[in-house]
Structure 1
């Protein structure tokens, strides 16, 4: 009975672990950089020194670049195209291959909205600028076919964060400003996967060889059930920044965004639980949760104007993904269900871009970027088939009048083909192997409107 309970607890850990921290294709890990369509068009180069309302959440000190009340709305569609080739097996004598297809294309087009407003103060408050923004700095939306070969690791992942940022900037002197912002963040997650109850029963029967005896009534992959976890939390963080513009040609921006710690609370749902396991409290739906820490982000931007109508920009960004080392799952009574290592590493992002004013009404821009992945070959999973990326971007601005402008941008992200090679891991409940390779890329299209008054 003790062995059976261990197998059942491991199956629950398998159902939960690896679901609360997942990735998408717009940036490394599950980071999003789509706060600004202008930045999208130049691969985020110069993002901390922009004349763009999105700096409310990126670098509050740069809000002083806007001399009018400004409202901005940005919409970006992220379309991940990915394909898995590979398979897995339930080890034994003989091994049993996992059934199912390649999962299809897990990345449906996903809309990422952002809004920001900036208000320069006047009179006695001259030099002070206030701002507010709503945006999504982290997120994911992927969905595999329910019967794919990797269904025991991942099926659906829908993770959203929404930030409300309230910022203030102070112009200390000509060319020097500082800023700070308060971040209220809402995090939500809905994730699903399959559970191989057949393997759990035969492996826990006291004779694991039953899993390979065709006469045994409970066979691997013959009693699949489902698992779903939903959780949410609100938490707070901050962003601080500075901007130095020693000449009209040169501007340098520095920004730091803090970690934000979440204790996701929600419910665990099990479906298709066999009657033999129905009385086990480990497979009863109920409240539970886990800890999520979104990483700190440090960014340095440089802009240099070689001519009045031509500017070169660059960005360096350091993301503290070491905040994600492992995941511990607990039920609401504090019982630890299990823990699984992730061992993510901190990452660096570099980009170089340019802007050219073709006329007072039309600006063209482009950029290229290199983005490192926080994942590694030892712990990479189908929930995050992430790898190093190269970004190629083009964009344009149309200044309709002194008050109204529109922006559009396109970005192509080429992803270095990641491999996964996941072994059986009884401690975390993974009762089968999964190995293979992903090929894919992402296309991002964005439009925005800025109104000044």
Structure 2
């Protein structure tokens, strides 16, 4: 009977930690957002998209820009991200007691993704377009024997979004745009379960949670040309609420599974549930200024409503443990400056620098979100081999600020204390075909 009580307590603790579905860390933007919309943005340190209105990616950056394009356009982008979040520290299970295992692992893994956009110019006033990209995502994979395995092992999340937008040129200088977004959010999260002395005898049991859902949102934006050299843009991207269906499964080692009382308990705790997740809304604003026939300057800022994520509630539909997990994220600001230099009609260079504030602090940072404030530095080049074909290359380096962590995801997970060494590299190639 005592064995069953201890096991149930540990199981509930594992469920509590696994309920951290949304607070996932991406090495590429604050929180778990991805700013990799297109090659021009990467090369500009993610600055200028809300006001530049010169390529099809404006569908998701600011749909008002579509009616300012001179031609219809199809754009495709392929990204490769090389993030790093190497942990140094210990997981304390009690005074003077630490979890055995490795600590110098990399954690966050490489990933490739893509984005596609299309804009059709109906006439001089109207344009419509589509965008398909991944605005949120992460791939983390800690080794089975790392010291924080009772906090997390695998974290995998992807949010695919399809945007269908329309733009109308109200006057020669003012354009507006809006449209719906359809999102599909899917994730998988695993960790080892702390069953006390049972782990020493039999090895670790693994808890595995998967979840997915669809949701709808919208974008609305405007661009105003102050004069022939200056345009100002603002864009609002709505929040998206996902009512996620989840499934939890516990996988004990074979020798432990042979003990029916424990195996039956793990089977009883396994099953389906639900979790409501709201991804934040944001407001972006910026200005693009043509300084000369060769130089163009862009400024941009963004406010993101991360404080929507204060807690998460995982509800079991089979009599298992219901859990509430505090998150406590704060709203954030992002901003920076970028510039382009036209070398010739065929070659254009760009660069930029930006600062991205993290919604997490030391008080709520955990192994699934070792997030930190960061600086972004980007460089890129456009090459136009033919009049209506452009190839864009972009590179960005993300400088983290080596965040400290001091967190306990649950009573049974221990208290992890240490520091992460954060940085990332992103490379991208984009192609633009105007017709």
TM over 0.5: same fold? yes
Shift of 1:353: 0.3
CA contact (8 A) 1:240 1:256 kept: yes
Shift of 1:17: 2.5
Q: How far, CA to CA, are the matches of 2:290 and 2:319 in structure 1?
A: 57
The correspondence of residues 24-423 of structure 1 with structure 2, limited to 5 A, is 24-50=26-52, 51-91=54-94, 95-102=96-103, 104-122=105-123, 126-197=124-195, 199=196, 218=198, 223-272=203-252, 274=256, 275=259, 276-280=261-265, 283-333=268-318, 337-423=322-408
Shift of 1:440: 2.3
* Segments of 4+ moved more than 6 angstroms: none
CA contact (8 A) 1:62 1:243 kept: yes
Structure 1, unaligned runs of 5 or more: 203-217
Q: How far, CA to CA, are the matches of 1:99 and 1:12 in structure 2?
A: 18
Q: How far, CA to CA, are the matches of 2:201 and 2:301 in structure 1?
A: 47
Shift of 1:164: 0.6
* Cα deviation 1:335-383 (Å, max 9, x = unaligned): 6521111100000001100001000100000000000000011111111
Shift of 1:178: 0.5
Q: 1:10 to 1:267 in 2, by over 3 A?
A: closer
Q: 1:436 to 1:394 in 2, by over 3 A?
A: same
Q: How far, CA to CA, are the matches of 1:384 and 1:431 in structure 2?
A: 16
Say whether residues 1:442 and 2:427 are aligned partners.
no
Q: How far, CA to CA, are the matches of 1:409 and 1:219 in structure 2?
A: 48
Q: 1:350 to 1:161 in 2, by over 3 A?
A: same
SS at match of 2:109: coil
Q: How far, CA to CA, are the matches of 1:338 and 1:283 in structure 2?
A: 16
Q: 1:431 to 1:309 in 2, by over 3 A?
A: closer
Q: How far, CA to CA, are the matches of 2:77 and 2:248 in structure 1?
A: 35
Shift of 1:285: 2.4
Shift of 1:19: 4.0
Q: How far, CA to CA, are the matches of 1:431 and 1:258 in structure 2?
A: 35
Structure 2, unaligned runs of 5 or more: none
Shift of 1:4: 4.4
Which piece of structure 1 moves more, 151-160 or 12-21? 12-21
Q: 1:108 to 1:219 in 2, by over 3 A?
A: closer
CA contact (8 A) 1:9 1:337 kept: no
SS at match of 2:322: strand
CA contact (8 A) 2:157 2:188 kept: yes
CA contact (8 A) 2:250 2:266 kept: no
Q: How far, CA to CA, are the matches of 1:98 and 1:5 in structure 2?
A: 19
Q: How far, CA to CA, are the matches of 2:280 and 2:116 in structure 1?
A: 22
**What's the counterpart of residue 208 of structure 1?**
none
Shift of 1:45: 1.6
Q: 1:8 to 1:85 in 2, by over 3 A?
A: closer
Q: How far, CA to CA, are the matches of 2:117 and 2:76 in structure 1?
A: 7
Shift of 1:432: 1.6
CA contact (8 A) 1:20 1:189 kept: no
Q: How far, CA to CA, are the matches of 1:221 and 1:302 in structure 2?
A: 63
Q: 1:152 to 1:219 in 2, by over 3 A?
A: closer
Shift of 1:107: 2.5
Q: How far, CA to CA, are the matches of 2:24 and 2:201 in structure 1?
A: 25
CA contact (8 A) 2:8 2:265 kept: no
Q: 1:64 to 1:272 in 2, by over 3 A?
A: same
Q: TM-score, normalised by structure 2?
A: 0.94
Say whether residues 1:18 and 2:16 are aligned partners.
no
**What's the counterpart of residue 215 of structure 1?**
none
Q: How far, CA to CA, are the matches of 2:67 and 2:83 in structure 1?
A: 36
Q: How far, CA to CA, are the matches of 1:139 and 1:358 in structure 2?
A: 36
Q: How far, CA to CA, are the matches of 1:112 and 1:292 in structure 2?
A: 23
Q: How far, CA to CA, are the matches of 1:128 and 1:335 in structure 2?
A: 54
Q: How far, CA to CA, are the matches of 2:205 and 2:50 in structure 1?
A: 48
Shift of 1:221: 8.2
